[in-house]
């Protein structure tokens, strides 16, 4: 009887979980990947992030029902997440504390889930606000030029999450930051690479010594259906290197819809990107900047037949230089056919992905993307046959004794993939490739080891080897011969129709990295990241550098 009553409570609570999104960089996704790998949860699709708070809460409930099967470290991790997502799972705040209004229950050094302020009531209305702070000390050693640079980045911000009527909610996040030290080094880090105000060269031209970021969304979330309008990070693809949508480009605004029912999943989004930039000089108004309109549409249908086999089909299309096209605003249209009906002006891509998890501890995945294809010229080096092939495996061989994780990933990308003859239709946002950093006409082999020493201390070690067939250029960047190796340069009328894989100027890059993380107190993090890279690039350019990043972050 107690068992039945407990199950009923869990069912009721899942209906009133908080509405919201868990950001793509949250460590819970690594935990859920491991739970999926060992069959402790079902119907988990790691291909698409982020997940909603309701989805994560439901996965944690599945893990909780299998708690006796977890190893010692994951049992402690589960306990940590049950505190963090307590309200989403149980609709209670027994393990939460708040700074405002000032009361004796708030402690900066306990293991509660701390908030600046939260409010809940019986009408299912709730508000949660957090303050965040990050400090990064970055040192770079250029081994070729024998030069050093260092910078201290300070970032602070806040987030407010609001839910109401059981299924509706919104979030607002904003941050500011500043730096001390080398601005040129700061401008190579993360989102600061394309932070508009921060990247002015001179203060007299509007440049600033601070940087800011903002995200926000409105979400409607039901059991099998959710929709969202917002701005934040999306990730699409298996493995650590995301071959579809990663973290390389600026975040963008989009509308999104997801449906999940039984073995069937359907997802869609339509996003606004930044296209080509031009400017004109006006004697009265000064410099006038113009950025062309550019959009990305995506949809994917997935079939999770069993742990032995899941299969998905999807499309993406980039179009530009016109207003929103209802052909691509329609989630259920066939985009390749719509592109033809629209007079073949756009850049459409088809993809298929597979996943197998027959054996506990072993996860196999694959993705095949067709940017363009001419069936009459298959087997030739015709430039119009553009494909990306990705293969990967995750292995946890000693889960109960020591849950060390191994992952290997191979990506082969043909010449001219992601490019387009019309510049604004290439697969970029503000000229940054939308996937993780993957050059056309290249192949990448990567391997990583994740070692959780405890639930609060972990080490991540990785290696990547990339071979790239670069375009032949002169030192100023002008192209002599186009081999399809630059996402910003599509096939031109004068270029050869033959584009052999890895033809061109061979560039080699080897990268080694480690990331040591420690969470001494709930939501307080200390970390040390290090990377060494060695590259032989076109025009006899050698690059060799060592970079370290010591960081601390906290959230209350």
CA gap 542, 171 in Å, rounded = 45
What are the backbone dihedrals phi and psi of residue 309, each rounded to the nearest 5 degrees, phi first? -165, 125
Query: What is the per-residue pLDDT across 224-264, written as a single tens digit (0 to 9) for each?
Result: 999 999 999 999 999 999 999 999 999 999 999 999 998 99
| Predicted TM-score (pTM) of this structure | 0.92
Q: Which of 247, 253, 243, 274 is nearest to 424 (CA)?
A: 274
Residue 10 makes CB contacts below 8 A (sequence gap 6+) with 61, 89
pLDDT at 10: 42
pLDDT at 11: 42
Lookup result for tokens 């079902």: 42
Query: What is the per-residue pLDDT across 384-426, written as a single tens digit (0 to 9) for each?
Result: 889 999 999 999 999 998 889 999 999 999 999 999 999 999 9
Structure tokens at 6: 């407990």
Residue 366 · residue 353 · CB < 8 Å: yes
What stretches in the chain show pLDDT beneath 50? 1-15
Per DSSP, the three-state class of 361 is coil
Residue-by-residue DSSP string for 384-417: T-EEEEEEEEEE-TTTTT---EEEEEEEEE-TTT
pLDDT at 201: 57
Distances (CA, A) of 294 to 65, 250, 274, 335, 370: 46, 14, 6, 16, 21
CA gap 180, 189 in Å, rounded = 14
């Amino acid at each position: 009887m107690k068992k039945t009553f407990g199950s009923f409570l869990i069912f009721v609570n899942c209906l009133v979980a908080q509405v919201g999104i868990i950001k793509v960089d949250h460590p819970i996704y690594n935990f859920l990947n491991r739970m999926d790998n060992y069959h402790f949860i079902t119907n988990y699709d790691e291909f698409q992030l982020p997940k909603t708070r309701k989805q994560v809460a439901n996965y944690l409930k599945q893990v909780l029902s299998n708690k006796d099967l977890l190893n010692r470290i994951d049992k402690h991790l589960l306990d940590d997440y049950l505190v963090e997502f307590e309200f989403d799972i149980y609709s209670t705040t027994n393990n939460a504390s708040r700074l405002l209004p000032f009361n004796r229950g708030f402690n900066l050094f306990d293991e509660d889930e701390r908030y600046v302020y939260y409010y809940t009531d019986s009408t299912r209305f709730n508000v949660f606000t957090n303050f965040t702070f990050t400090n990064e000390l970055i040192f770079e050693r250029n081994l070729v030029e024998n030069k050093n640079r260092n910078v201290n980045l300070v970032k602070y911000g806040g987030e407010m999450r609001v839910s109401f009527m059981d299924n509706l909610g919104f979030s607002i996040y904003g941050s500011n930051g500043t730096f001390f030290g080398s601005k040129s080094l700061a401008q190579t880090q993360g989102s600061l690479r394309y932070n508009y105000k921060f990247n002015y060269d001179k203060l007299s031209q509007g440049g600033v010594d601070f940087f800011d970021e903002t995200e926000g969304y409105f979400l409607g979330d039901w059991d099998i259906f959710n929709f969202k309008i917002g701005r934040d990070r999306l990730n699409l693809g298996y493995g650590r290197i995301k071959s579809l949508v990663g973290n390389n480009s600026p975040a963008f605004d989009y509308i999104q819809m997801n449906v999940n029912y039984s073995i069937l999943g359907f997802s869609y989004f339509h996003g606004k990107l930044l296209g080509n930039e031009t400017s004109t000089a006006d004697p009265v108004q000064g410099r006038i900047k113009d950025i062309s309109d550019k959009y990305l549409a995506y949809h994917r249908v997935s079939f999770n037949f069993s742990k032995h086999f899941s299969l998905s089909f999807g499309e993406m299309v980039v179009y530009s230089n016109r207003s929103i096209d209802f052909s691509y605003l329609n989630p259920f249209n066939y985009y390749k056919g719509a592109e033809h009906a629209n007079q073949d002006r756009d850049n459409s891509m088809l993809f298929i992905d597979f996943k197998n998890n027959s054996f506990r501890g072993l996860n196999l995945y694959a993705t095949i993307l067709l940017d363009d294809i001419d069936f009459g010229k298959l087997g030739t080096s015709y430039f119009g046959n553009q494909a990306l092939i990705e293969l990967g495996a995750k292995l946890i061989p000693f889960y109960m004794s020591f849950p060390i994780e191994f992952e290997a990933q191979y990506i082969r990308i043909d010449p001219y993939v992601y490019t387009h003859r019309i510049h604004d239709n290439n697969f970029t946002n503000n000229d940054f490739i939308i996937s993780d950093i993957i050059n056309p006409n290249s192949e990448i082999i990567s391997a990583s080891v994740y070692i959780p020493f405890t639930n609060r201390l972990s080490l991540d070690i990785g290696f990547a080897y990339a071979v790239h067939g670069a375009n032949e250029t002169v030192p100023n960047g002008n192209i002599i011969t186009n081999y399809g190796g630059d996402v910003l340069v599509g096939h031109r009328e004068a270029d050869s129709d033959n584009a052999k894989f890895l033809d061109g100027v061979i560039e080699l890059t080897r990268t080694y990295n480690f990331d040591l993380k420690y969470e001494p107190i709930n939501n307080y993090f200390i970390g040390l990241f290090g990377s060494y890279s060695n590259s032989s690039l076109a025009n006899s350019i050698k690059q060799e550098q060592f970079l370290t990043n010591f960081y601390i972050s906290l959230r209350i």
